[in-house]
Structure 1
């Protein structure tokens, strides 16, 4: 049995990029012949978005050939009132004591609530006492996994507050095979729990903020096997960082072109160019380099540009620097160390001449 697992789509408008990302996930579910599609919270960005989009959600959440199971997150915690209809295939779990049973699975939901510590443990003890012994148990959860190396920006624009935090030790005595989680935006990440199960964040399937860079992923796995990342062709932000080396003979603009050509077609590029050029060798100064870079990036989605490189041809022609460079080349240092020392010398001479 295959399960497709995502979270944190943060829908806002019909047929925008986020909506199209959701449609793409539905298509993947059909292509991969999944039986269950899990959305572990924050399908909607706000309650008003849920109310506006619900008629359209009903259409794409019906007649797909698989169940769609979701829990509320911190952004859409009040969007699923009793009796609301979200589509023929849709099951919404709003209470931990009301699991959904499907074949040899028991699927539990721990939706977001503004609770922590002992209150969370109390809920998990309920799960410990009621989990199925003759089926695989899956827990859907929306919140923060502590004891992991996250920064606040990994959870989107959530500020400094804690969101229903749990520790690995909370799951130690639970008969849980998978914790399919949401709230962590930046990337796919997975941990093996002490009880033998898995805790997995799929990351958001589309970049919600510019801090979420790189091609997006979902969790697509077979029950009984480890979670598995699946690459998506959805819009995302991509950091492209290039450092010019004035001692390389290659045209600096061609270097940028090579990097840009490798970027995914759905990427929104955050372009940063550092390092140094020798305008005498390159036959072009800083202004011309920037102009040519902008020409070759036409037609690409460059959303930010950071031009931090400098022309240092006067330093490179300085007799003192030439003498230093000659001695450095004769040294036994590896190439990386030589580059570090060259950069230090360049920076020192730039500071002395300023």
Structure 2
């Protein structure tokens, strides 16, 4: 039994890249021999998107490829009704409080989205997990591992269905196939046997979701998981610190980073920070040539040629270089360059 797990597609009528991501997931699932694809909530960004896109999805979810088992998330909890046809290959589990599906002796307990965990639900999940020798819980939740609100995408600062590691250990499912966390893939061991999986969003929805997107392939028999890179839309950024005299090396590094992403379906930006010896116009021209096709942020670098030539800075630099008790001399030098450039600009330090 092999499962491709994903979540948080947030399909939207005005974002065709989300539909392309769904097709890519189904392609990868077939290519890697997955028997089932699970979606841990938020297939749609809204119930309105679900209504508009449903006819298109019937074809996508009725073709070749694996069966799909999905649950509602907080964004699309109101999108599903029994009389709607989503396609022959997909089952959206909406039965309360949860549904149990059997696949070759492996049970998946599908829990539709809820705001919170009640005592009654806790007891029922504990009871159902005891009935199966091998099982997984499919849910949309916030795990207590210190993620910030931006890790969950463009969400409100609400902990939807907060659940602790200890609770998941007590339930005893072999796998927890989760959704709601957008930023990166996260696979955690909860004790000796239990594995918790956030696949991350399969397409970048915001600038908090950087880098190539992934899904997770779970082999139930071997107990192994594999993160699979997806050929889907993503965002990425390159933030580099430049120091005086190292401008060419930095621009070369940035150019390589940009070139590596040429041809990808992506949106990228470059954020250079620090101080340069060159004239700002000259350095900016070098950056723009290296960053063709990328968004370039200009606000975090400045020329400090007057500071470098100032006798006070030269004395400071000689003293700094002679010290052996300072661990990060570059950081200290950066602070001095910044402070002196401000003083010179405000005419509080003589040239």
Do both proteins adopt the same fold according to a TM-score greater than 0.5, normalized to the shorter chain?
Answer: yes
User: What TM-score, normalized to structure 1?
Assistant: 0.89
Q: Larger deviation: 257-266 or 170-179?
A: 257-266
- Matches of 2:272 and 2:302, distance apart in 1: 10
SS in structure 2 opposite 1:227? strand
Which position in structure 2 is the counterpart of 1:295?
289
| Residues 23 and 60, structure 1, Cα contact 8 Å, conserved in 2 | yes
Q: Deviations over 1:250-287 (max 9, x none)?
A: 365434323322446333113211111112xxxxx212
| Residues 254 and 291, structure 2, Cα contact 8 Å, conserved in 1 | no
- Matches of 2:319 and 2:15, distance apart in 1: 62
| Residues 98 and 111, structure 2, Cα contact 8 Å, conserved in 1 | no
Task: Note if 1:112 corresponds to 2:100.
Answer: no
Q: Deviations over 1:45-91 (max 9, x none)?
A: 11111111111111111232421000000111011111322111111
User: What TM-score, normalized to structure 2?
Assistant: 0.90
- Matches of 1:337 and 1:198, distance apart in 2: 40
Residues 172, 242 of structure 1: alpha-carbon distance in 2 compared, 3 angstrom cutoff: closer
Which position in structure 2 is the counterpart of 1:9?
9
Task: Note if 1:82 corresponds to 2:74.
Answer: no
- Matches of 2:130 and 2:136, distance apart in 1: 10
Task: Note if 1:344 corresponds to 2:338.
Answer: no
- Matches of 1:14 and 1:314, distance apart in 2: 50
Which position in structure 2 is the counterpart of 1:193?
190
- The structure 1 residue matched to 2:301, chosen from 309, 316, 329, is 309
Residues 89, 154 of structure 1: alpha-carbon distance in 2 compared, 3 angstrom cutoff: same
- Matches of 1:165 and 1:340, distance apart in 2: 40
Residues 258, 65 of structure 1: alpha-carbon distance in 2 compared, 3 angstrom cutoff: closer
SS in structure 2 opposite 1:45? coil
- Matches of 1:277 and 1:192, distance apart in 2: 46
1:40 to partner: Cα distance: 0.7
1:322 to partner: Cα distance: 2.2
Structure 2 stretches lacking a partner, 5+ long: 347-351
- Matches of 1:9 and 1:94, distance apart in 2: 18
Which position in structure 1 is the counterpart of 2:320?
328
Correspondence list, 1:204-353, <5 A: 204-224=201-221, 225-248=223-246, 250=248, 253-263=251-261, 265-279=264-278, 285-298=279-292, 300-302=293-295, 305-332=297-324, 337-353=328-344
Residues 15, 150 of structure 1: alpha-carbon distance in 2 compared, 3 angstrom cutoff: closer
Q: Deviations over 1:191-244 (max 9, x none)?
A: 222472111111101111112112211111211414332222221111210111
Number of residue equivalences: 342
- Matches of 2:106 and 2:121, distance apart in 1: 20
Structure 1 stretches of 4+ moved >6 Å:
none
1:139 to partner: Cα distance: 0.9
- Matches of 2:158 and 2:209, distance apart in 1: 19
SS in structure 1 opposite 2:126? helix
1:319 to partner: Cα distance: 2.2
1:136 to partner: Cα distance: 1.6
| Residues 41 and 72, structure 1, Cα contact 8 Å, conserved in 2 | yes
